[in-house]
């Protein structure tokens, strides 16, 4: 290479350095405007841009043998150097911007080596410093077995940023490892699955990696995959996170089209890149043409499809990768979880979403998985097919098409009745799969009697509603109404879905249409009345009218001898009582109905199980825990014995049981029950389902009760993400879980994020649900407390007082949210130093005629009041209510409950603060005796007791 060429390459690299912080399109535009450059020099710059995200490496390969690199590319550190407390041992890898070294602490005697990543440039621009800062922030918030863990970050004495991370022993890039060991396609897919789950975890934490490529997927010495290098990750929660990808941050062979073309980035960006890596590993070559960056990805789809057709023989795997590698992000898998699910299904020889569904396709997959069972079933299927063929021939022969069509309809309805949970008896997964197959078959099949098709679609929709598959049900009902717009059952199904989605406008329209379709004595008039009652409850807030409509429906069901309908109305009447703050009456009425139900129905009928679950929740609310435990145990035992351990009813039963265990202070047992609900929901419904989100929500609450705020936040965020994904941002359950998330963010000191989360939720609730709805009041309570915590006390007081007035007017004085409103406003008054006003608020609650001291809420109320009296220098009153809080806890839960131990420890700390040695000695003795009697005691309680003992000794 002559001096002229060297100078040209050097000049090209300098120009590249000027363009590296621009997007591809901006960089190319800027380069084309540099008229002073010759075509040869521009071509060299284009080579650098096309070479990937390590242009300096490419540059050095061309010129390093001919001249010494200038200062901008000088290596600042080498093995043997020290960075703060670490000595660099050996270089593990290098990129265009950074190097990674194996290192050890200089002072430590026994230690595990670590990896240190640091810039290898003498000067670090603000852009690059920000990139390192983002990587530190990302890694500090992630903890996953397939993501490298960060220890800490810092800046060396020379001003070079660095990150200290876990050292991945014997690490190799995934492509090098796969080639060296000649791994199978299935092993590659297993690695991609691991990577996908780790990246999905990052997505759930609102992080997009944006640089997935083989060198960022490492295989360690044990064959485990680790995702590394979040240096250009996008934090979706940060306004300053880059929205576009610069050429510095691009790897053209694996970047998504939207990265190259400066489009909007999302989780589908990572789906594309991971699929590109997967394809490259399988075919052992790069998945895109070398000039795709300069052509703005124009030939991507045709190039990929040719590779898939010629080099991926398995149709399902080809379809999966093609779906993930779509040029348009909207046509790809919506999120990483869906991509992972399809890859997992492929590994298990199950049907995949990327392949069009059909009856024949599912039979083929089933036959491949279960060859022996399929051989037996095929005989039975053949008999059924022969019977249907003969029946069809007979219909045609006798030309009695209408009559025989009814016979076929009845036969088909009988076949599909197995998907009803009352008859399926626990086979929920089979039911869901069978529904999908049946629906596809109905849509594809040509019926001589079009009414048969409509009836079958309605049957599918009703079964899907019972399994909680609302969107699938909506599609079935819509298809039925296209055939027969007068189908009452389809309209009723649509009405149920509209009410569940809080689409009151659509609900009112459906009610008006049904009112015209139904005669006064129509058997479906009772169903309509029940749904009208729901509209009266949630939209009109007219509980008296709702009660009247439900009673009328109940009488109509009774007259028609529809006992299931009668009990459904009874459940709704109990719910109306609960909403009106009469849970004791609701429980009493449901107990009477349950006794009646058990005389006529099996103990495992869905309506009986639903009533038992309602009773558990009602008894939890009134504090009658023995009754709650009784019904909860019966419910779970009945379902397991008769319906099996995989029945959907167990999900809510476990959550209700966890609620009872939480109230009685058995937090470990509650976590176990809630985790059983989560595991079962994932098995039955998958990762993205309302039941899964509800279980995560409850687990988050339990972590909060146990003081594990970070775990609570993690689970609550996952629940919020699922609800937002499947129900949308405007659904009541999404709002509720976001309000819960806000409360946790507030406790973690993330005030700005908390306010940004709950304010839009509150405004939407006011608009859709109304200011007096309990969900709106709850969000208003959380927002008022949040304003108080950030010092916006005047706003907090105004919002808190408005909230309390709404709660009293709409919910009544004895509703739990009203009591909570008193406590929240009292806290705001306390923050303002208005102790007397705060005390008066709490006293007004505990002195009301509806106050029930035999309830766990009383424990918190008395503790709050004790703190307020202490702030107001009324020590004797503070002591009085501290003792009352313990007395109530013992009375409700007994001295052997962990919840009581917490109260005893709180009281001990209270008396240590008051420097009351006599009371301290009494509590020390009592706690020691209780712990001794209940050995072994939770380590957390033991540690806290030890800390308080040390404080008590210091007091003496």
Residues of the binding site: 117
Q: What six digits make up the tokens of 235?
A: 């934090």
β-sheet bridge partners, residue 91 = 101
Helix (H) or strand (E) holding 117: strand 114-119
> What is the rounded distance in angstroms from the CA atom of residue 744 to the CA atom of residue 712?
7
Query: What residues contact residue 538 under an 8 Å CB cut-off, 6+ apart?
Result: 499, 502, 504, 769, 773
Note the helical H segments in 790-897. Answer: 793-811, 816-831, 835-846, 856-871, 875-893
Query: Whats the size of the chain, residue-wise?
Result: 956
Contact 825/785 with Cβ under 8 angstroms? no
> What is the rounded distance in angstroms from the CA atom of residue 539 to the CA atom of residue 62?
72
CA distances from 518 to 187, 427, 489, 514, 525 (A): 60, 35, 11, 6, 7
> What is the rounded distance in angstroms from the CA atom of residue 709 to the CA atom of residue 719?
15
Which phi and psi (to 5°) does residue 685 adopt? -105, -20
> What is the rounded distance in angstroms from the CA atom of residue 597 to the CA atom of residue 566?
10
Note the helical H segments in 706-815. Answer: 709-726, 732-747, 751-768, 774-789, 793-811
- Region for residue 904 given its phi and psi (left: phi exceeds 0; alpha: psi -120 to 50; beta: otherwise): alpha
Q: What six digits make up the tokens of 4?
A: 């002229």
Q: What six digits make up the tokens of 773?
A: 């709805």
Contact 551/567 with Cβ under 8 angstroms? no
- Region for residue 644 given its phi and psi (left: phi exceeds 0; alpha: psi -120 to 50; beta: otherwise): left
Tracing tokens 């609800």 back to the chain, one arrives at 723
Contact 590/611 with Cβ under 8 angstroms? yes
The alpha carbon of residue 502 and the mean position of all alpha carbons in its chain are separated, in whole angstroms, by 21
Angle at 683 between CA 681 and CA 688, to 5 degrees: 60
Note the helical H segments in 141-285. Answer: 174-181, 185-204, 257-260, 267-283
Q: What six digits make up the tokens of 793?
A: 């006390």
> What are the strands of the beta sheet with 114-119, ordered from one edge?
82-83, 86-94, 98-105, 114-119, 161-166, 150-155
Strand-strand pairing, 172-173 and 161-166 = unpaired
Mutual orientation of helices 751-768 and 774-789 as an angle, nearest 10°?
150
What does the buried/exposed string (b/e) look like for 711-739 if buried means 16 or more CB atoms within 10 Å of the residue's CB? ebbbbbbbbbbbbbbbbeeebbbbbbbbb
DSSP annotation of 184: -
Query: What residues contact residue 235 under an 8 Å CB cut-off, 6+ apart?
Result: 134, 137, 138, 206, 207, 241
Q: Which residues are annotated as a binding site for ATP?
A: 117
Tracing tokens 């997505």 back to the chain, one arrives at 203
> What is the rounded distance in angstroms from the CA atom of residue 439 to the CA atom of residue 850?
53
Contact 693/719 with Cβ under 8 angstroms? yes
> What is the rounded distance in angstroms from the CA atom of residue 101 to the CA atom of residue 91?
4
Radius of gyration from C-alpha coordinates of the chain? 33
């Amino acid at each position: 290479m002559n001096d002229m060429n060297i100078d040209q390459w050097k000049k090209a690299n300098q120009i590249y350095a000027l363009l590296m912080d621009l997007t591809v399109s901006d960089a190319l535009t800027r380069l084309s405007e540099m008229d002073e450059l010759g075509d040869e020099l521009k071509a060299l710059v284009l080579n650098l841009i096309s070479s990937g995200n390590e242009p300096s490496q490419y540059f050095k390969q061309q010129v390093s043998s001919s001249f010494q690199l200038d200062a901008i590319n000088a290596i600042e550190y080498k093995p043997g150097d020290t960075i703060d407390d670490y000595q660099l041992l050996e270089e593990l890898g290098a990129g265009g911007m950074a190097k990674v070294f194996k290192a050890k602490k200089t002072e430590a005697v026994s230690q595990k080596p670590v990896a240190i990543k640091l810039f290898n440039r003498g000067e670090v621009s603000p852009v690059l410093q920000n990139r390192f800062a983002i990587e530190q922030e990302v890694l500090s918030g992630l903890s996953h077995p397939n993501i490298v863990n960060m220890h800490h970050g810092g800046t060396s004495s020379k001003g070079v940023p660095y990150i200290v991370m876990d050292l991945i022993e014997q690490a190799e890039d995934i492509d090098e490892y796969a080639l060296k060991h000649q791994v199978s396609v299935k092993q590659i897919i297993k690695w991609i699955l691991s990577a996908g789950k780790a990246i999905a975890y990052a997505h759930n934490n609102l992080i997009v990696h944006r640089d997935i490529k083989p060198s960022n997927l490492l295989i360690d010495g044990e064959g485990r995959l680790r995702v590394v290098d979040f240096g250009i990750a996008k934090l979706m929660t940060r306004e300053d996170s880059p929205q576009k990808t610069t050429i510095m941050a691009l790897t053209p062979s694996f970047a998504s089209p939207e990265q190259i073309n400066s489009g909007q980035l999302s989780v589908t960006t990572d789906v594309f890149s991971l699929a590109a890596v997967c394809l490259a590993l399988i075919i052992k070559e790069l998945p895109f043409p070398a000039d795709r960056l300069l052509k703005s990805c124009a030939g991507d789809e045709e190039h990929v499809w040719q590779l898939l057709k010629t080099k991926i023989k398995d149709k399902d795997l080809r379809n999966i990768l093609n779906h993930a590698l779509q040029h348009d992000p909207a046509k790809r898998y919506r999120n990483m979880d869906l991509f992972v699910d399809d890859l997992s299904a492929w590994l298990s020889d199950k049907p995949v979403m990327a392949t069009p569904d059909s009856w024949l396709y599912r039979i083929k997959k089933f036959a491949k998985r279960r060859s022996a069972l399929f051989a037996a079933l095929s005989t039975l299927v053949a008999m059924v097919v022969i019977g249907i063929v003969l029946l069809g021939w007979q219909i045609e022969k006798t030309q009695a098409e209408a009559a025989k069509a009814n016979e076929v309809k009845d036969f088909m309805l009988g076949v599909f009745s197995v998907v009803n949970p009352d008859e399926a008896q626990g086979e929920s997964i089979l039911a869901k799969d069978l529904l999908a197959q049946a629906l596809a078959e109905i849509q594809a099949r040509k019926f001589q009697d079009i009414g048969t098709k409509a009836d079958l679609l309605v049957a599918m929709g009703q079964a899907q509603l019972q399994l909680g598959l609302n969107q699938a049900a909506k599609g079935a009902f819509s298809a039925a109404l296209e055939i027969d717009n007068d189908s009452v059952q389809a309209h009723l199904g649509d009405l149920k879905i509209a009410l569940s989605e809080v689409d009151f406008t659509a609900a009112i329209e459906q009610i008006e249409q049904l009112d015209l379709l139904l005669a006064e004595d129509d058997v479906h008039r009772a169903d309509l009345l029940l749904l009208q009652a729901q509209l009266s409850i949630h939209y009109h807030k007219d509980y008296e009218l709702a009660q009247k409509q439900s009673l009328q429906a109940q009488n109509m069901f009774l007259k028609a001898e529809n006992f299931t309908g009668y009990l459904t109305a009874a459940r709704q009447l109990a719910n109306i009582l609960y909403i009106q703050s009469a849970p004791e009456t609701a429980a009493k009425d449901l107990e009477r109905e349950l006794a009646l139900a058990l005389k006529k129905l099996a103990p495992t009928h869905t309506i009986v199980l639903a009533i038992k679950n309602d009773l558990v929740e009602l008894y939890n609310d009134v504090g009658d825990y023995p009754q709650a435990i009784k019904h909860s145990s019966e419910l779970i035992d009945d379902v397991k014995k008769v319906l099996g351990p995989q029945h959907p009813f167990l999900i809510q039963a476990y959550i209700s049981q966890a609620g009872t265990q939480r109230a009685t202070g058995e937090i470990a047992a509650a976590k176990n029950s809630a985790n059983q609900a989560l595991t079962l929901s994932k098995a039955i419904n998958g990762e993205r389902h309302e039941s899964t989100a509800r279980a995560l929500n409850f687990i988050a609450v339990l972590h909060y009760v146990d003081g594990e705020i970070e775990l609570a936040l993690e689970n609550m965020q996952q629940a919020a993400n699922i609800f937002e994904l499947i129900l949308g941002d405007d659904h009541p359950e999404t709002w509720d879980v976001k309000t819960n998330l806000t409360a946790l963010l507030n406790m973690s000191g993330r005030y700005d994020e908390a306010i940004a989360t709950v304010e839009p939720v509150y405004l939407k609730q006011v608009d859709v649900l109304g200011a007096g709805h309990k969900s709106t009041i709850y969000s208003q309570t959380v927002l008022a407390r949040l304003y108080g915590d950030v010092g916006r006390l005047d706003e907090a007081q105004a919002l808190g007082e408005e909230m309390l007035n709404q709660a009293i007017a709409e919910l009544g004085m004895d509703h739990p949210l009203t009591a909570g409103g008193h406590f929240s406003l009292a806290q705001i008054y306390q923050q303002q130093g208005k102790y007397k006003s705060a005390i008066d608020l709490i006293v007004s609650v505990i002195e009301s005629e509806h106050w029930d001291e035999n309830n766990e809420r009383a424990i918190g109320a008395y503790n709050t009041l004790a703190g307020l009296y202490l702030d107001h220098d009324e020590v004797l009153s503070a002591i009085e209510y501290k003792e009352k809080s313990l007395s109530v806890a013992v009375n409700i839960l007994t001295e052997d409950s962990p919840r009581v131990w917490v109260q005893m420890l709180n009281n001990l700390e209270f008396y240590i603060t008051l420097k009351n040695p006599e009371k301290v000695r009494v509590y020390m003795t009592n706690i020691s005796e209780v712990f001794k009697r209940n050995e072994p005691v939770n380590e957390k309680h033991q540690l806290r007791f030890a800390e308080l003992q040390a404080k008590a000794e210091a007091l003496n």
